[in-house]
């Protein structure tokens, strides 16, 4: 009877895994479950993000097209204005050379453009200061004026 008991004990010890083996098996099973849950969550998040981006694109597409067309028209108008300004400069320089030598005519034209640029700079600076005052931003120095 002792032989049978030893065999049964031997087969029991071989069939029951060690604590380390049980822990390793539990970790493998748990990591498999965690991987599946994380994969499912990532897939669901990707679907939600894709759907929301599609909704936003559909919602803002008409406005974006309108803004794009407006910006394109503004760029064409700016280019046309620059070309007209260049031709006007050449014509004004030609008119000034009728009464003044060319170097003096160019100097007068440069003075006109310098005065215009200075006035535009002052105007823009006043506008920026007005905007910062409206926002309540603390500004150092005396008030504009």
Same domain, 16 and 48: yes
Same domain, 69 and 133: no
| Domain interval for residue 63 | 2-99
- Specify the pTM: 0.44
d(CA 47, CA 53): 10
Same domain, 94 and 132: no
Which residues, at least 6 apart from 41, have a Cβ–Cβ distance to it below 8 Å?
Answer: none
Angle, helices 102-135 vs 19-99, to 10°: value is 140
Structure tokens at 11: 């087969």
5 alpha carbon, distance to own chain's centre: 76
Same domain, 10 and 41: yes
Q: What is the pLDDT of residues 10-69, one digit of tens each?
A: 555 556 778 888 887 877 777 777 778 788 888 888 888 888 888 888 887 888 888 889
Q: How many domains does one find in the chain?
A: 2
d(CA 100, CA 91): 14
């Amino acid at each position: 009877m002792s032989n049978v008991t030893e065999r049964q004990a031997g087969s029991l010890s071989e069939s029951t895994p060690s604590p380390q083996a049980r822990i390793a098996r539990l970790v493998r099973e748990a990591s498999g479950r965690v991987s599946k849950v994380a994969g499912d969550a990532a897939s669901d998040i990707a679907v939600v993000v894709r759907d929301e981006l599609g909704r936003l694109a559909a919602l803002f597409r008409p406005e974006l097209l309108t803004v794009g067309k407006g910006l394109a028209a503004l760029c064409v108008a700016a280019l046309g204005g620059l070309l007209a300004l260049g031709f006007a400069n050449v014509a004004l320089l030609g008119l000034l050379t009728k009464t003044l030598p060319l170097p003096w005519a160019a100097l007068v034209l440069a003075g006109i453009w310098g005065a215009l640029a200075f006035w535009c700079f002052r105007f823009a600076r006043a506008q920026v200061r007005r905007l910062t005052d409206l926002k309540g931003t603390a500004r150092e120095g005396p008030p504009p004026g």
